[in-house]
Structure 1
Amino acid sequence: MAFQCQRDCYMKEFVTSVVSCCPAELKHEVNGKKETLKGFNVKLQDTILFPEGGGQPDDHGLIGDVSVVRVTRQGPEAVHFVSSALEEGQQVQVKLDWERRFDHMQQHSGQHLITALADALFGYKTTSWDLGRQRSTIELDTPSVKALLSIDDPAVEKVFYVYNKCDMSCVCDHQVRSRGLPDDHAGPIRIVDIEGVDANMCCGTHVSNLSHLQVIKLLGTEKGKKNKTNLIFLAGNRVLKYAEKSFSAERSLVSLLKTGPDEHVEAVDKLQKSAKLLQKTNLSLLRDMAVLIAQNFKNDPQRGSFFSLHKKEGDNEFMNIIANELNTEETLVFLTVGEEKGPGLFVLAGPSGPVAELGPRVLEILQGKGAGKNGRFQGKANSLARRGEVEALLQQHCKQLTSGEE
């Protein structure tokens, strides 16, 4: 069937009735984490909320005062996942998140137009597309794009007509583009036609006039999979938001770099080269410092059998240089780098027996992960806040060894 959202893509509110409401679960991603939500699957007599399909994400909105989390299609029916139960048979008002819908309409119609022109002008066939949250991508069946498409007049007055046809023979008579129908398709076949440019079977929502696209911006291309190319584009309000965001970033860079926009690349390049030089100098100084620290300890006539050091700015190489310079067959060495009460790195070096015995206990105290062999145990610490406890443990071990020798 054709839903109300397909018959009138611009309808924002709609009154219908609840056909069924059943308990259900939904695997949902929230802030990058997958969660299983408990709720209800609701079927309505009809809907203005588009169920995901044809590369287009689903709509958001309300049924009454209940938020719709997801809309999917099951054969000829749309299933709305909601958090609260709705009474079967009751009349409800469905409200659409129009900003999200219109954005999807602009991107989807823009994709149809770009796909048609890519084929007609350059012979590039579209194999798939992705309507992303910030940008959209069209996968073209070509290893490289020699010329970007040029759309000089995005506000051309061409009308999208929607036809409902009952069988494939009628579709073929209209010479439409198609990658085939879903296995569970039922009801009329829907064709979106850009007069004189393209006709394509599509279940998605579209603008009624190309002037509603406002503007299309082709951002560039990326290498795709299997000798294909991904064409990245923005349509409509996304272009305006992109321009606004770019201008805001440009103003911030002007303030930070103290140069005009045309000199930003050169200024950043100079900063990167300077940072690399400083990093190289810093590493050299750290190596020299590590050698001096080890030598000072070896030259101290009062030195004991235990050496401990923490340095915020160090790294693994810094710690290993110190451990290598010291005679760890006679000295138990405990080194850490990082924030004093935050995460960091550690090295425990010394006689093989004590290191193998004490290493796991050090890991436990520092809440870390690591491993060791041949008299050296090292890894990452989730927290160095209990570093003092490790020192006390190692000092106690050294005292016991000394007492045993005496």
Structure 2
Amino acid sequence: MLKDRIYYKDAYRQTFTSRILHTGTDEQGRPYAVLDNTAFYPTGGGQPHDTGTIDGIAVTDVEEFDGEIRHFLESALHSKDEVEGLIDWERRFDHMQQHAGQHILTAAFVELFGFPTISFHLGKGLVSIDLDVENISQQQLTAAENLANQIILENRPIETTFITEDELKNYNLRKQPSVTDEIRLVIIPEFDYNGCGGTHPDSTSEIGLLKIISTEKQKRKVRVQFACGNRILQQLHRKHEELSAASKLLSAPEDGIATAIEKLLESNRIAEKALVDAKENLLTYEAKELLAEQTDSIVKATFTHRTVQELQQLARLLVGEGNDSVIALLAAENEDKLQFVAARGVSATASMKMVSATVLPTINGKGGGNDTFVQGGGEKTISVVDLANLMESSILN
């Protein structure tokens, strides 16, 4: 029976002895052992499995198959009647803290705002719950976090019991259990009553503290990520290291980093604006030089490592005000690709669609535009000079 399993009878049990019922190898070639009882918690209900050793051999995974718990091992066990198991207590207690914290935070959102939790995930760094709401405010997050920590600090007992389906009516459960046989309840008196098969500490104070770290939208739901107990210290250490590194890079005290970043961003915006202005001036000068070299109405030029955005801007300058009859044919070679832009002034009559219709099949490319302006790109099947010549021949023929 479930209630006889060691991890349910005593979640604090770190060592145990048990008999081997049978051993085997799964389809992936992983050796496993099935024992007559175990303190190893198998993956389930959002909580990861325990790790540890059995007779000194590392337990890498624990899963339940058709009512039997398989302990997957780094190597096969030698046949003998009785073995000794050792639980990785640091991992087990961390899971106990996080899972109990999830119960409390979930209950806090229900108690304060009626927000139900629809899923729970206990990850390596953070724990998350998905709330069945589309939006949540910072004030609501703070209120739920404060209530959760109040319950934790009150050192309330965390009780567990097995009941039958007929006994469910005696408890005000947060949601209906997903099982009908051997229903296990986890109870924080006068706050939360919930069906759960995970491991938890005996009192809320053992959770330590709970801190909401972040939220994100998940398909019209809100995912709340948080940490409890020792994980808060880990988060604090990591953030402190990042803050110290940023402080050194910015030559600013830690409490002045936000101001230093604002100044840096403003300087960056000014520099970017100056760079854009400089590029525009250079393109304007380049357009004037190309027009000065013009011997007829066509301005043809080739480039290396030129973005299509620069080609577009240069083409518009070439056919702009005062250059009504000009046709600009620009081609660029960028690594293994060819790109082109063709534009005409308002008094030119040639259709730029003829350019793309001629060029694109040759370079296996794609493009678009209209009679006055087209652009496109494709494979480097010909040289950039041949591309420009092909563009010119398409409007001269």
Q: What TM-score comes out, normalization by structure 2 length?
A: 0.71
Q: Which residue of 2 aligns with 1:162?
A: 160
Pick the structure with greater CA Rg.
Answer: 2
State how far apart, in whole Å, the 1-side matches of 2:88 and 2:337 are.
49
Shift of 1:107: 1.0
Aligned length: 360
Selected match of 2:94 from 103, 124, 148:
103
Q: Which residue of 2 aligns with 1:7?
A: 9
State how far apart, in whole Å, the 1-side matches of 2:388 and 2:107 are.
78
Residue segments in structure 2 that go unaligned for 5+ positions in a row: 320-325, 343-354
* SS at structure 2 position matched to 1:24: coil
Matched, 1:177 2:168: no
What does residue range 254-265 of structure 1 map to in structure 2 within 5 Å? Answer: 254-265=247-258
Q: Which residue of 2 aligns with 1:126?
A: 116
1:235/1:400 Cα in 2 relative to 1: closer, same or farther (>3 Å)? Answer: closer
* SS at structure 1 position matched to 2:27: strand
Greater Cα shift, 392-401 or 288-297: 392-401
Shift of 1:86: 5.6
Query: 1:211-267 CA distances to partner (integer Å, 9 max, x unpaired)?
Result: 3212222447666766x6655432101111122122222222222233333333233
State how far apart, in whole Å, the 1-side matches of 2:218 and 2:332 are.
49
Query: 1:291-331 CA distances to partner (integer Å, 9 max, x unpaired)?
Result: 433443454479999743234xx643113224556699785
Amino acid at match of 1:378: G
Matched, 1:45 2:40: no
Shift of 1:43: 3.9
Answer yes or no: is the 8 Å Cα contact 1:359–1:377 preserved in 2: no
Matched, 1:23 2:17: no
Amino acid at match of 2:162: N
Answer yes or no: is the 8 Å Cα contact 1:348–1:359 preserved in 2: no
Amino acid at match of 1:77: E
State how far apart, in whole Å, the 2-side matches of 1:400 and 1:125 are.
65
Residue segments in structure 1 that go unaligned for 5+ positions in a row: 26-37, 361-369, 382-389
Matched, 1:348 2:352: no
Shift of 1:106: 0.6
Percentage identity across aligned positions?
Answer: 24
Answer yes or no: is the 8 Å Cα contact 2:302–2:388 preserved in 1: no
Answer yes or no: is the 8 Å Cα contact 2:329–2:340 preserved in 1: no
State how far apart, in whole Å, the 2-side matches of 1:100 and 1:157 are.
22
Matched, 1:234 2:230: no
Q: Which residue of 1 aligns with 2:273?
A: 280
What does residue range 305-384 of structure 1 map to in structure 2 within 5 Å? Answer: 307-311=301-305, 315-323=307-315, 333-336=331-334, 347-349=339-341, 351-352=355-356, 355-360=359-364, 371-373=366-368, 376-378=375-377
Shift of 1:92: 4.9
State how far apart, in whole Å, the 1-side matches of 2:156 and 2:59 are.
34
* SS at structure 2 position matched to 1:334: strand
State how far apart, in whole Å, the 2-side matches of 1:264 and 1:198 are.
41
Query: 1:147-190 CA distances to partner (integer Å, 9 max, x unpaired)?
Result: 5132347344333333233x1234443x252533335x65x332
Selected match of 1:135 from 123, 126, 147:
126
Answer yes or no: is the 8 Å Cα contact 2:63–2:69 preserved in 1: yes
Answer yes or no: is the 8 Å Cα contact 1:19–1:88 preserved in 2: no
Amino acid at match of 2:11: C
1:356/1:232 Cα in 2 relative to 1: closer, same or farther (>3 Å)? Answer: closer
State how far apart, in whole Å, the 2-side matches of 1:178 and 1:168 are.
15
Answer yes or no: is the 8 Å Cα contact 1:356–1:373 preserved in 2: no
Answer yes or no: is the 8 Å Cα contact 2:367–2:375 preserved in 1: yes
Amino acid at match of 1:240: L
What does residue range 236-255 of structure 1 map to in structure 2 within 5 Å? Answer: 236-255=229-248
Shift of 1:282: 1.9
Selected match of 2:50 from 59, 68, 72:
59
Q: Which residue of 2 aligns with 1:31?
A: none
Answer yes or no: is the 8 Å Cα contact 1:52–1:72 preserved in 2: yes
What does residue range 87-102 of structure 1 map to in structure 2 within 5 Å? Answer: 92-102=83-93
State how far apart, in whole Å, the 1-side matches of 2:233 and 2:328 are.
69
1:42/1:279 Cα in 2 relative to 1: closer, same or farther (>3 Å)? Answer: farther
- Aligned-CA RMSD value: 4.3
Answer yes or no: is the 8 Å Cα contact 2:158–2:188 preserved in 1: yes
Shift of 1:347: 1.6
State how far apart, in whole Å, the 2-side matches of 1:326 and 1:67 are.
73
State how far apart, in whole Å, the 2-side matches of 1:204 and 1:104 are.
9
Q: Which residue of 2 aligns with 1:384?
A: none
State how far apart, in whole Å, the 2-side matches of 1:220 and 1:49 are.
31
1:293/1:305 Cα in 2 relative to 1: closer, same or farther (>3 Å)? Answer: closer
State how far apart, in whole Å, the 2-side matches of 1:157 and 1:348 are.
71
What does residue range 179-218 of structure 1 map to in structure 2 within 5 Å? Answer: 179-182=175-178, 186=181, 188-218=182-212
* SS at structure 1 position matched to 2:152: coil
State how far apart, in whole Å, the 2-side matches of 1:125 and 1:53 are.
24
Answer yes or no: is the 8 Å Cα contact 1:12–1:98 preserved in 2: yes
State how far apart, in whole Å, the 2-side matches of 1:288 and 1:391 are.
33
